[in-house]
Amino acid sequence: MGFDVTAEQMTNKGCIDMAVRFGGRVFILEFRVVEKDDGGQTTLDQIRGMRYWERYWGYADTIFLIGVEFSSAERNIIGFEWERLHDA
């Protein structure tokens, strides 16, 4: 289908859970299991803080950051955020 999917991709600041390249776009996904919705740092904050997009800066037309949080108790998605970075 033309998707280039890489899981557990190392960077100089950490490990990207999943990166999907499709056409000129890159989707950086971070997954996190939380005990409860504590209102603290979000998964998207983690992507921003670790600057995971830098690995693809200049190699993609558009970069999307996607954070997904799962509840360990409910065993379901409890949080989902995304952000489109300005065209690289």
Q: How far is CA 75 from CA 37, 41, 54, in A?
A: 13, 20, 32
Q: What is the pLDDT of residues 10-49, one digit of tens each?
A: 887 888 989 999 988 999 999 988 876 556 778 888 888 8
Model confidence pLDDT, tens digit, residues 70-85 = 988 888 998 899 999 8
- Phi and psi dihedrals of 49, rounded to 5? -65, -35
**Domains of the chain, CATH where assigned:** 4-84 (3.40.1350)
